[in-house]
Structure 1
Amino acid sequence: MRKIARVFASFAVMAASASLSEFKDNEHIRNIGISAHIDSGKTTLTERILFYTGKLSEMHEVRGKDGVGATMDFMELERQRGITIQSAATYTEWKDININIIDTPGHVDFTVEVERALRVLDGAVLVLCAVGGVQSQTFTVNRQMMRYNVPCLAFINKLDRGMSNPERVLSQLRTKLKHNAAFLHLPIGLEDKHEGVIDLVKRKAVYFRGPSGINVVEEEIPSDMVSQTEAKRQELIECVSNVDDILGELFLEEKVPTEEDINAAIRRATIKRDFTPVLLGTALKNKGVQLLLDAVIDFLPNPTEVTNYAIDNSVEAEEDKKVVMNPQRDDTHPFVGLAFKLEAGRFGQLTYIRIYQGSLKKGENIINTRNGKRVKVPRLVRMHADQLEDVEEAFAGDICALFGVECASGDTFVTKGNTEFSMESIFVPDPVISMSIQPADKNSQEKFAKGIGRFTREDPTFTFSYDPESKESIVSGMGELHLDVYAQRMEKEYNCKCVLGKPKVAFRETMLQMCSFDYTHKKQSGGAGQYGKVTGYMEPLPPDDYTKIEFWDNTSGPNVPKQHVPAIEKGFLLACEKGILTGSKVTGVRFVLEDGKHHIVDSSDWAFQQAAEGAVRQVFENSPLTLLEPVMSVEVTAPIEFQGAILGTLQRRHAIIVGQDSTEGYFSLFCEVPLNDMFGYSTELRSNTQGQGEFSMEYSKYCPTLPETQDVMVRAHQESLGIAPKGQQKQKQRKR
């Protein structure tokens, strides 16, 4: 019945057609994301935000006993697992400001959801657990915010939990994440004694009373906290004065800044990413959320305060390529928008789009600048989780969605006149783990193909390939959970049960030293022949570039015609698809073409492509190679009495310890471990800590494998090809 009610509610929202022009200017809009490490309380916080702003009539929990679940976790799998799997968009109003919100996953396996959300947002709320503090995925989210220059507020959540310590979290913000951060609030009590917060700027104690903490009550500061409040307020003013000239002058002149002076300075510094305001509360116990909403309005930028660029691909000069987008909410400037997320909806493909310039109307024709295709917008909607509201027109600064428009994630849409524009692409990390996959029922091949096609189109970190040697279908992703979730979605959404094979790590091969090549491809068999000669060298790239492949053309003169150089590069890239050690992809190498020869009749693109492939094989046979493996940053947290046991298990998995932290009976261990050695660790950790330990990991880098690991991998590859290892070959010769 609840499911039917949700469907009817969705259609009721769809029936109300509107226009986003009701927001007269961009000063009344905020586009924000909620981001954090897993289990920090993002979805619970978003649920409270929607309740206090009047978007929801009642609140539900992520793991609710009523069976409803949080609004933003609308997928059945999300409610079963109690985690966010895909980002969800919504909108609400607070004090006449329209706030577009994207709730993002916290698990590292779904990091691309955070990546593409932050790419289109103007600000973010970084949620931190008052107990866990800065954790492994917090580093990743922080890097993503830096990559797209997104200003943020920090919200220390879960002050009601045992061993909560906001002072420690603030210290980690400063030392680990290098933020110039300071409290805007002080807690009135912690753990089960948490009652409210003190607003340092207003010098008021704030309590959240009434049903669900809906009444925000300001009172005088408790007498025993007056001196601490003044000290922390002075610390706040000093931190902001260091990065804001106007407040800095008042500070140097020893003038007392007003509340307006402090708030204006915090806003300026936050928008420039020079300062991070730190707010406190507990979303689950309904404290601090309304003050966070006030801070979003007061300190995070509106779309006019963020400079966005499009790249003009028709201009050759690099410095002239960037074109500043005009964020005004009118239709006087040509439309430019970025499709940042795809999703299969009830009525076809749903394409989430951020509008950076101009306006977009229902029924209008727009052009995809990647392929030049002109498409019509049959339907324009804005999202509230899985519910839709039709709109007639959207403007710069809006986040909305299109139905029935085929495209890829990261495509730029424009109107006529600016078809050479493209927005900056979204960073997509490489998959680090692979598994074989096949439908349990051979009659489900059509459903299987349909599901795989949809998922690979929606998620650029989920890839599919077919291995002709093993005759297996291979899926690759960011972790075991990532692939397991898609296998379950295949069963639930397409009624196609799938069987996943043993995890396979994405190993890579690379060179250890520079090696020259001089290769001639020559074939005469009657008629037109083939001739191409290439000379040059290949060299390893630095460790930071182990995942890259580079091609340099250093030729001069007519020996290698320029029209054949792309074919040589293609041959080099094809040859790097499979190395000779384990058949893994070759990366971390640079191919430098210095010279060659051509034949006026027999040379062709195909001949030079074959010559390049032969040159790469020649290098691989003459140069020492090594195997690379993905190394993960791992954080383990457990009671301190299990520290010795955990250290022992990690050392057996070839971990390199990089740091350690401890607080009130718990310790956190930071290390780097090869992904190949991490399988089954969750079970081992639970058994070693009586179920009290937890860990998280994220991809860090590629590093050379240990010699014994390389020997095992090479031997396994040779056996799969039917080639006996050298030692066994010698034994057979002796027997003969």
Structure 2
Amino acid sequence: MNLGILAHVDAGKTSLTERLLHSAGVIDEIGSVDDGNTQTDSLALERRRGITIKSAVVSFALDDATTVNLIDTPGHPDFIAEVERVLSVLDGAVLVVSAVEGVQAQTHILMRTLRRLRIPVLIFVNKVDRAGARPERVLREIAAKLTPAAVPTGRVTAPGTRTATVHPYEPTAPEFTTRLTETLAEHDDEILAAYVDDRTPLPPARLRDALRAQIARAQAHPVYFGSAINGAGVRALVDGVRELLPAATGSADEQVSGTVFKVERGPAGEQIGYVRLFSGTVRVRDVVTFGSAGRTAEGKVTGIAVFDRGTAGRADAVTAGRIGKLWGLGDLRIGDAVGTPPQGTAEQHFAPPTLETVVVPATPADRGPLHLALTRLAEQDPLIDLRQDDVRGEVAVSLYGEVQKEVVQATLAEQFGVEVTFRETTTICVERPTGTGHAYEKDLEPLLGTVGLRVEPAPVGSGNTFRLEVELGSMPYAFFKAVAETVEETLKEGLYGWQVTDCTVTMTHSGYWPRQSHSHAVFDKSMSSTARDFRHLTPLVLMSALQAAGTRVHEPMHRFRIEAPDGPRSGVAPLLTALARLGAVPRDQRQDGTEWTVEGEVPAAHVHALEQRLPGLTSGEGVLETSFSHYAPTRTAPPPARPRTDLDPLDRKEYLLRVARRVR
């Protein structure tokens, strides 16, 4: 069973992982996050900061028949990309909620995604022994904010004290069977009929079978209470994992199909890929195919390690259902399919980063090592999108937040010996076409070839599409491929320097000068077209078409939810005034007793400012949840622009001069 441990930061994921490993006999002593000696936080930076940055796998025996590969994931929202990669390999998950802080912003995002992906989930309310723990209130929050199908499996006495005790319900306890029956009846007509007709309690075995089936379909979610620190309630959680969550499926005799969810470098710099195998068997010395998004490669597996009962040990093969570490597959990337692509693994579950910053080396001599180091980091985190500016000799990286920036800075210093600083963080916008535009060029000195392109807007969220309106045989396929690839690359920087999205580009004209082929002729570039001609001509034509179509800059918007008290020194009026100044648009506001809830949308560029102002507006009692919502047209004039990093086809004269130098 491949089990994920997920939570908002500081809810106790890593502590729960330590407790589970200790109870299974894998470790003799429970490590502490504060002391920096846990099993899964192995990076020096993780131990020093006390947070999980990289997902980690550790295994233990659940019983004689089942081994659990436990995947501990980061909880801080800046490292949501790590969670993104793990979701596609899970058989089930434990979502940890703090009994003190309750349902937090990241908790809500994680549960919404887990339910959408139909991943079986058990909920563990941790820290019932901490001061301020209110498990009953948290249970109500779970039902209201996460899932109405939450079924408590026990109760807590003396919560918030060191003597807090968890009392699991007996299978026949009325307070358990009544709530369970009502929840199961939502999706089980037989249980509903039995409950409505005579209200006779159903046999515990029947309820257990129905609960297991609905958990597998992500329709029901048992809630366990406990403390990872002192072990209270953890035994009941382990029993729930063993009895209620589905184990891995797939046959070792079928076609190989797996997913790469983590890539790291070994001591000698060799690539090591973490692969969840859904079917088939991969053996040492097997030649396997891997890749994604039109990129296919082949490599020979030179080594395998399999996670099994505590450690990842060397093995001759990894079989369906297991997680293995594979050596020998060069250029392996996170998200690659190994063998046949598994169904549904290409979908992105969370929003991409909306922030960007330029990384500046402390000394100019470190520019080369910096680029190499950032490339290595991008291997491990594909959402760290590198944007190389050859004109200015700069590299920009995309980020989720300021904490991630600090971690990148520390990682570059500690692992690669490169000291860096950062420019001010900016928001990543996108451009969308506002109309239709067409451009056409033929044999533009010094380029031999004909390219005509039409740009049209496409539905929001559809991405970019390249189409042909000319005969595929009108010129060599290599030239069409050059145009298609260059269109994709050129759309990364639109009229204002942002990536252009949601557009359709159609090739309307094509033409080329055939290669000389008569007897004894010497190839003459000045009279023959090459793929380079089309790679240089396409950006000029495409940007002219974009100018004719026009684009509009869109900025990322975050949905927000603020819970704040209504008091003499705080209230909804000052909050609404502050939101208006930040460009936020409240969509809903309601009062429940002495507490206000305000929901709406705010530009991503102002989220940090809102976080800073909220304590002063709410006497320190306001709670803010934010998550990416959509891109909306900017309201500033002129719209924000980003410096270009290419030859700038918008400057036609200068572009052709630079191209001429390259061609010659």
Tell me which interval the TM-score lies in, with the shorter structure as reference length.
Answer: 0.7 to 0.9
Give the alignment partner of residue 399 of structure 1, picking from 323, 326, 329.
Answer: 323
Match of 2:185 among 237, 241, 246: 241
Aligned to 2:44: 76
Aligned to 2:290: 369
SS in 1 for 2:239: helix
**What does the per-residue CA deviation read over 1:148-188, in whole Å, with 9 as the maximum and x for residues that have no partner?**
43111122223344554445544444444455332222333
Secondary structure of 1:106's partner?
coil
Write the distance in 2 (CA, Å) between the matches of 1:444 and 1:605: 35
Shift of the alpha carbon at 1:267?
0.5
1:355 counterpart residue number: 277
**2:601 corresponds to which of 657, 666, 672:** 672
1:298 CA displacement: 1.0
Pairing partner for 1:632 from 558, 570, 591: 558
Match of 1:411 among 336, 343, 350: 336
Equivalent residues of 2:67, 2:308 under 8 A apart: no
State yes or no: 1:656 paired with 2:585: yes
Cα contact 1:338–1:354 (8 A) shared by 2 = yes
Q: Is the 8 A contact 1:381 1:402 kept in 2?
A: no
Per the alignment, residue 653 of structure 2 pairs with none
Corresponding residue SS for 1:678: helix
2:34 paired with 1:58: no
Contact 1:568 1:608 in 2 (8 A): yes
C-alpha deviation, 1:489, in angstroms: 0.9
State the one-letter code of the partner of 2:29: E
Q: Which residue of 1 aligns with 2:150?
A: 181
Aligned residues of 1:108 and 1:698 also touching (Cα < 8 A): no
Deviations 1:457-494 (A, max 9, x none): 11111122221344322122222222221111111222
Q: Confirm or deny that 1:503 pairs with 2:429.
A: no
The Cα of 1:561 is off from its aligned counterpart by 6.2
User: Which residue number corresponds to residue 39 of structure 1?
Assistant: 10
Aligned to 1:155: 124
Distance 1:199 1:89 in 2: 29
> Offset of 1:667 from its aligned partner?
6.5
After TM superposition, the structure 1 = structure 2 runs for residues 558-707 of structure 1, keeping only pairs within 5 Å, are: 563=477, 566-580=481-495, 582-592=496-506, 595-596=508-509, 598=511, 613-635=539-561, 641=567, 642-643=570-571, 646-658=575-587, 670-679=599-608, 682-685=611-614, 695=624, 697-707=626-636
| Partner residue in 2 for 1:733 | none
1:377-398 superposed Cα distances (whole Å, 9 cap, x missing partner): 324243899x643344432211
SS of equivalent residue, structure 1 residue 43? helix
Task: Indicate the residue corresponding to 1:339 in structure 2.
Answer: 260
Cα pair distance change 1:658/1:78, threshold 3 Å: farther
Cα offsets for 1:259-279 (capped at 9, x unmatched): 222211111111122222222
Q: Distance in 2 between matches of 1:715 and 1:403?
A: 40
**What does 1:380-459 correspond to in 2, within 5 Å?**
380-382=305-307, 388-406=312-330, 407-414=332-339, 424-428=344-348, 429-445=351-367, 447-459=369-381
Contact kept? 2:437, 2:547, Cα under 8 Å: no
Say which SS state the counterpart of residue 573 (structure 1) adopts: helix
Write the deviation string for residues 323-379 of structure 1: whole angstroms up to 9, x where unpaired: xxxx24x5x445433222112333543321112223344x33231333442313324
Amino acid at match of 2:403: L
The aligned counterpart of 2:99 is 130
CA offsets 1:585-624 (integer angstroms, 9 cap, x no match): 222323345x446478688766666675455434443445
Amino acid at match of 1:585: Q
* Cα RMSD after superposing both structures: 3.6
Measured against aligned partners, the alpha-carbon deviations of 1:700-734 in whole angstroms (never above 9, x if no partner) come to 32111123xx42635999xxx9x9xxxxxxxxxxx
Alpha-carbon distance in structure 2 between the residues aligned to 1:108 and 1:706? 28
Aligned residue in 2 for 1:217:
none
- Give the Cα–Cα distance (whole angstroms) in 2 for the partners of residues 297 and 605 of structure 1: 59
**Any stretches of 5+ residues in structure 2 without a counterpart?**
515-527, 651-664
SS of match in other structure, 1:38 = coil
CA distance in 2 between partners of 1:343 and 1:469 (Å): 31
* Correspondent of 2:440 among 513, 520, 531: 520
Query: How big is each residue's C-alpha offset from its partner over 1:408-432, in whole Å with a ceiling of 9 and x where there is no partner?
Result: 1122334xxxxx6566544454332
* CA shift in 2, pair 1:194/1:665, >3 Å: farther
Q: Please give the alpha-carbon distance, in whole angstroms, between the structure 1 residues aligned to 2:451 and 2:86.
A: 48
In the alignment, is the contact (CA less than 8 A) between 2:304 and 2:324 conserved in 1? no
- Partner in structure 1 of residue 53 of structure 2: 85
CA deviations on 1:45-72 (whole Å, 9 max, x unpaired) are 2122122222222223322xxx344332
* 1:434–1:474 CA contact under 8 A, matched in 2: yes
TM-score (ref. length: structure 1):
0.75
TM-score w.r.t. structure 2 length?
0.82
Q: CA deviation at 1:633?
A: 3.4
* Residue number in structure 2 paired with 1:218: none
Assess, with a 3 A threshold, how the Cα gap between structure 1 residues 396 and 521 changes in structure 2: closer, same or farther: same
The percent of aligned pairs where both chains have the same amino acid is 25
| Residue correspondences, number | 619
Alpha-carbon distance in 2 for matches of 1:68, 1:599: 64
- Give the residue type in structure 1 aligned to 2:361: P
Deviations 1:631-680 (A, max 9, x none): 22345566665455555444322223345688898766544321222345
In structure 2, the CA distance between the partners of 1:525 and 1:60, relative to structure 1 (3 Å rule), is: closer
Asked if the contact 2:85–2:262 (Cα under 8 Å) also holds between the matched residues in 1, the reply is: yes
* Distance across 2 between alignment mates of 1:698 and 1:293: 32
CA contact (8 A) 1:263 1:298 kept: no
Amino acid at match of 2:355: I
Of residues 401, 407, 410 in structure 2, which corresponds to 1:485? 407
Give the Å deviation of 1:440.
1.4
Correspondence for 1:713:
640
User: Which of the numbers 103, 108, 121 marks the counterpart of 1:139?
Assistant: 108
Give, as a single letter, the amino acid of the residue that structure 2 aligns with 1:713.
P
Letter of the structure 1 residue corresponding to residue 325 of structure 2: A
